[in-house]
Chains A and B, each alone.
Chain A
Amino acid sequence: MATAFVHAHAAHCESGVMSALLRHHGLPMSEAMAFGLASALAFAYLPCIRLNGLPLIAYRMPPRAIVKGLQRKLGLGMRFETFRSEDAGMARLDALLDEGRVVGLQTSVFWLPYFPPDLRFHFNAHNLLVYGREGDDYLVSDPVAEIATRCPRADLQRARFARGALAPKGLLYYPTAAPPPPDWARLGRAALSRTAHIMLHPPLPLIGVRGIRFLARSVERLPLDGGGEAARLYIGHIVRMQEEIGTGGGGFRFIYAAFLQELAAKTGYAALDMLAGRLVEIGDRWREFALAAARMIRGRDPLAPPALATRLRLLADDEKRFFRDLLAAQRAWA
Chain B
Amino acid sequence: MHERDVPQAANASLAGHQKAVYAVAEDGRLRLTASSGWDVEEIVLRQALEDLERRAAEARARAQSGAASPLEYHMYRARMDVALLAQVTGLWRWRVRRHFRAGVFARLPLRIRRRYAEALGISLEALSRTD
Contacts and interface: CB of A to CB of B under 8 A. Distances in A.
B1 interface: yes
A44 B73 CA distance: 32
A283 interface: yes
Interface residues of B, number: 40
B88 A164 contact: yes
Chain A interface category by residue count: 35 or more
Contacts of B80: 122
A205 interface: no
Given A276-B30, A280-B30, A294-B39, A258 B22 contact: yes
A10 B34 CA distance: 9
Interface string A231-265: 01100110110011001001100110110010000
A165 interface: yes
Contacts of B87: 163-165
A232 B32 contact: no
Nearest to A259: B30
Given A164-B84, A244-B45, A261 B20 contact: no
Nearest to A9: B20
Contacts of A243: 38, 40-41, 44
Interface stretch (A96-104, A193-201, A284-292): A284-292
Nearest to B49: A118
Contact of B15 (A116, A146, A297): A116
A121 interface: yes
Interface in A85-123: 110-111, 116-122
Given A31-B32, A233-B47, A239 B40 contact: yes
Interface secondary structure of A, over-half rule: helix
A144 B20 contact: yes
Contacts of A244: 41, 44-45
B47 A258 contact: no
A296 to B, nearest CB: 10
Contacts of B30: 32, 254, 257-258, 261, 276, 280
Contacts of B22: 11, 32, 251, 254-255, 257-258
B56 to A, nearest CB: 13
Contacts of B17: 116, 145-146
Contacts of B19: 11, 144, 247
Contact of A11 (B20, B24, B39): B20
Given A144-B19, A165-B87, A258-B22, 16 more contacts: A111-B121, A118-B45, A119-B13, A122-B79, A122-B84, A146-B20, A163-B88, A233-B51, A236-B43, A236-B48, A240-B44, A254-B22, A261-B29, A283-B1, A287-B40, A293-B40
Interface of A: 9-11, 31-32, 50, 52-53, 110-111, 116-122, 144-146, 158, 162-165, 232-233, 236-237, 239-240, 243-244, 247, 250-251, 254-255, 257-258, 261, 276-277, 280, 283-284, 287, 290-291, 293-294, 297-298
